[in-house]
A and B are shown apart, each in its own frame.
Chain A
Amino acid sequence: MIEIDSITKRYGETAVVDSVSMTIAPHTITVIVGTSGSGKTTLMRMINRLVEPTSGTILIDGADNRSIPGYELRRRIGYAIQGHGLFPHRTVAENIATVPTLLGWEKSRIAAKVKELLSLFQLDPAAFGPRYPHELSGGQQQRVGVARALAAEPNILLMDEPFGALDPVIRAKAQDDLLAIQKHFGTTIVLVTHDMEEAFHLADRIAVMDKGRIVQYAAPEEMLVNPATDFVETLIGAGERPFRLLSIGAVAEAAEAGEAEGEPIAATSSQRDALSALLWSGREALPVVGADGARLGRVTLAGLARRAARPQ
């Protein structure tokens, strides 16, 4: 649990972060979005004290984050940045071992952890461990960057536009990997991005920042339905709203009784995928099947259209 209490950061006269308060629940993904210069990165960097606040406090699991030296705090909090920031003169294995080495873990424990993480990120430990970062592709470097951030098993992982430098295909894969890893470790993730698509895909809760203040802090559905200000509405993109609403819900929720012909769609797919499949195949309805292959009913164009409409 991260409790941010009226935190402010001023550079001279301008407040980059202006009296922000928010509580981040454990084991969730919170995405902070905003335009450039909105203070989102500064807010995140105050959690691990890469930036010292001008006033206000941040409690991590009830303890003030200024109760221990900054470098010790940062060893307990994972940190992944855009462009990965891997140390070029160290091998992949040494990079991942950075924090455990600083913490003085035993060699065998470090080696086991490096191996575990590389396997988890689908990199063969024997092949990739001894390589240098410049010998990897962009997507691989990014995965090693996240693996390094997770090496000391932190409860909290801070990510500053971690996927910004990746091409769209690799980015989608990296996002899905992150969701899987969050499930695996139960890490509390705070992620900063300016990509709304990414925010809606990953977030349990989204915080929208503008000019140093939090404009809205809510679950994605809530934000779509009730944008707090025009700024939030613009950021979401008015034209995208119905599709974003559908992309949050699963097909299972939209299933109705009845039969339909043709290729079925899995109940766990998003309603947006279902709409896309209906439109592309030119049909009115699709059968829905569960994980075991059993028919659960059908999903119809009309039903989805109702769900995509602004809730009353």
Chain B
Amino acid sequence: MKRLLPNLLRLAALLVLIAFLVQPALFEPLLKPLVQANAPAVYNQGSLLSLTLSHLATVFAATLAATIVAVGLAILVTRPIGAEFLPLSRSLVNIGQTFPPVAVLALAVPAVGFGEKPTLIALFLYGLLPIFENAMTGLSTLPPAITEAARGTGMTAWQRLTRVELPLALPVILAGIRLSVVISLATATIGSTVAAKTLGEVIIAGLQSNNLAFVLQGGLVVAVLAVLIYDTFSALERVLSRRAGRI
């Protein structure tokens, strides 16, 4: 009952978002007061829906790659054989976080050209740290009695990892992915400066033509996406934690 109202609000936000992306013209009266006379109130230089989808696809691809690399590194450095790589891995992912995405874009364009690629690289580097740190925490704070029992029942190192350690660390790892996704959703907008197809196009178009409605459309769509994805991950974590007996 307590969760009913927030869930209704989320559902409503999702429906409004879909309606806006499919039929933006419906919302023209709402946006009209924000623009000067004769200026278009709804983004007219491309399809909002396809921009949103390609925005999500970029974030998804970058986060997926960051997850694979960060979780892989975390697994490596929490094994006895990889423990000495911990400081090195930490430095690497920290560097990824320290470089401003704008700088990464500027540096990547000469190397890989304009388009999606520099954005993917920037998002990938920027997303590594939260996932790595959470995966590290999740894998290294498992209750000793449980890891001991896993060895004592005769599981091999691989079986312990896949059947006990990763399933139990999953809620914590997901929390890291959630942070990374939300950061990437916002950061992906600047990818438009190097011709990536993201919602940043709408915002930049609005800034260039002094069109407040454009800026607001691009910004709000990203914001609503971020909130909905954040909440979905949180709910997933809660379900998994409950199953793992951590609550």
What residues of chain A have their CB less than 8 Å away from a CB belonging to chain B?
48, 50, 71-76, 79, 81-89, 98-99, 102, 132-134, 145, 148
Contact = CB atoms under 8 A, between A and B. Distances in A.
Contacts of A72: 154
A181 B206 CA distance: 78
A74 B245 contact: no
Interface centre among B148, B150, B164, B167 (most CB of A within 10 A): B148
A216 B146 CA distance: 33
A99 B153 contact: yes
5 contacts: A73-B154, A74-B152, A85-B146, A85-B152, A145-B149
Nearest to A85: B149
A84 B156 CA distance: 20
B168 A88 contact: yes
B244 A88 contact: yes
A73 B153 CA distance: 9
Interface in B137-189: 145-146, 148-156, 159, 164, 167-168
Contacts of A85: 145-146, 148-149, 152
B243 interface: yes
Nearest to A83: B145
A11 B114 CA distance: 58
B191 to A, nearest CB: 38
Contact of A74 (B153, B167, B243): B153
Contacts of B244: 88-89
Contacts of B151: 50, 74
B245 A148 contact: no
Interface residues of B, number: 19
Contacts of B149: 79, 81, 84-87, 145
A99 B146 CA distance: 15
B3 interface: no
A1 to B, nearest CB: 21
Given A81-B145, A81-B149, A84-B145, A71 B155 contact: yes
Interface in B204-247: 243-246
Nearest to A88: B245
Contacts of B145: 81-85
Contacts of B153: 74-75, 79, 98-99, 102, 148
Nearest to A49: B151
Given A89-B243, A132-B245, A74 B146 contact: no
Contacts of B246: 88
B245 A134 contact: yes
Contact of B150 (A73, A83, A87, A133): A87
B148 A81 contact: yes
Contacts of A83: 145
A264 to B, nearest CB: 46
Shortest 4 CB-CB distances between A and B: which pairs? Answer: A85-B149, A88-B245, A75-B154, A79-B152
A99 B243 CA distance: 21
A89 B153 CA distance: 16
Contacts of A75: 153-154
Nearest to B168: A89
Residue among B152, B159, B164 with max Cβ neighbours from chain A (10 Å): B152
B245 A89 contact: yes
A50 B245 contact: no
Contacts of B152: 48, 50, 74, 79, 81, 85
A89 B164 CA distance: 8
B154 A88 contact: no
B152 to A, nearest CB: 4
Contacts of B146: 85-88
B157 to A, nearest CB: 8
A98 B146 CA distance: 13
Contacts of B150: 87
A180 B57 CA distance: 62
Nearest to A165: B145
Nearest to B243: A89
Contact of B154 (A71, A87, A145): A71
A70 B148 CA distance: 14
A307 B180 CA distance: 75
A101 to B, nearest CB: 9
